[in-house]
């Protein structure tokens, strides 16, 4: 069965510091995709970054980077230079290959608090 | 704003009443998804449409739930005879069918349902 595990219920970081949010996944499919979303208190799920299982390079999007370690089945999100506005819930998700569409399986999330 | 929009954002209803949520996806996105999110959990997949065809329904979608996408544009999610366990946020998402951006799913802000 496919599963996403986020072992950190909550994380604290000082403003301007970097923080790593952990994500491990379990799948037997050779082709899959991994996503990170940010969910502020308003509820909207904001797409941050995507990594395909065959991508050779780790994905980066501005201050976000994904530390993809395929053999360890981990896809940790690194946020550099944290800002107060980064305080939110963060969800790791895996795309289940099924006819090519994006059915996502989510982890339980990590709540990040950025302190001034 | 050309993002995914959902209406209403908040709904309080008495147990046993019917409720309907509407989702307008990003223009020209032919894929549309509904997810449900309860407090402290990540979103869970409910159903998927490609254009007007409903191609997959989760076992979470009991007989009291029905989703439609009549013309392949907006979608509705109806819950009949609501129960307190239906209290959750219902998230709609859309994605393009092809191209590199087809990997990205864009979510709306969600519709919060409280059944009293």
User: How many residues are recorded in chain A?
Assistant: 116
Residue-wise pLDDT for B8-31, tens only, equals 999 999 999 999 999 999 998 889
Residue-wise pLDDT for A2-61, tens only, equals 899 999 999 999 999 999 999 999 988 888 899 999 999 888 899 999 999 998 899 999
Residue-wise pLDDT for A53-86, tens only, equals 998 899 999 999 999 999 999 999 999 999 999 9
| Strand ranges (E), chain B | 5-7, 10-13, 19-24, 31-37, 44-50, 53-57, 65-68, 75-79, 88-95, 106-107, 111-115
| Residue A50, token pair as written in the block | 């995507």
Q: CA of B68 to nearest chain A CA: how many angstroms apart?
A: 18
Q: CA of A53 to nearest chain B CA: how many angstroms apart?
A: 12
The predicted pLDDT at position B46 comes to 95
Give the burial class of A70: count Cβ atoms within 10 A of its Cβ; 0-12 exposed, 13-18 middle, 19 or more buried. exposed
The predicted pLDDT at position B59 comes to 87
Cis peptide before B68 (omega within 30 of 0): no
The predicted pLDDT at position B61 comes to 86
Residues of B in contact with A46 (CB under 8 A): 107
The predicted pLDDT at position B96 comes to 85
- Of the candidates B89, B93, B105, the beta carbon closest to that of A43 is on B89
The predicted pLDDT at position B20 comes to 98
pLDDT category of residue A97 using cuts at 50, 70 and 90: low
A36 touches chain B (CB under 8 A): no
Chain A with chain B: Cβ pairs closer than 8 A: 62
Residue-wise pLDDT for B56-106, tens only, equals 898 888 899 999 999 889 999 999 999 999 999 999 999 887 655 556 889
Yes or no: say if B52 and B69 are a contact pair by the CB < 8 Å rule.
yes
Please indicate whether, in this complex, the C-beta atoms of A104 and B91 are within 8 angstroms of each other. Answer: no
Q: Cα(A69)–Cα(B90) distance, rounded to whole angstroms? A: 33
A87 touches chain B (CB under 8 A): no
Q: Cα(A78)–Cα(B29) distance, rounded to whole angstroms? A: 30
């Amino acid at each position: 069965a496919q599963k996403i595990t986020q072992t950190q219920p909550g994380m604290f970081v000082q403003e301007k510091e970097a923080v790593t949010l952990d994500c491990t996944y379990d799948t037997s499919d050779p082709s899959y995709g991994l996503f990170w979303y940010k969910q502020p208190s308003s509820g909207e799920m904001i797409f941050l970054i995507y990594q395909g299982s065959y991508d050779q390079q780790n994905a980066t999007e501005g201050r976000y980077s994904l530390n993809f370690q395929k053999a360890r089945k981990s896809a940790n999100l690194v946020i550099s230079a944290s800002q107060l506005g980064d305080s939110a819930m963060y969800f790791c998700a895996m795309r289940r290959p099924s006819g090519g569409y994006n059915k996502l399986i989510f982890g339980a999330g990590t709540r990040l608090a950025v302190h001034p | 704003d050309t993002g995914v929009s959902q209406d209403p954002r908040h709904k309080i209803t008495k147990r046993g009443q019917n409720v309907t949520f509407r989702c307008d996806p990003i223009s020209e996105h032919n894929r549309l998804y509904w997810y449900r999110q309860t407090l402290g959990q990540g979103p869970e997949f409910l159903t998927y449409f490609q254009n007007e065809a409903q191609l997959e329904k989760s076992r979470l979608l009991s007989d009291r739930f029905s989703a439609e996408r009549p013309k392949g544009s907006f979608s509705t999610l109806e819950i009949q005879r609501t129960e307190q366990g239906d209290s959750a946020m219902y998230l709609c998402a859309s994605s393009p069918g092809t191209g590199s951006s087809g990997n990205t799913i864009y979510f709306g802000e969600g519709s919060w349902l409280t059944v009293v």
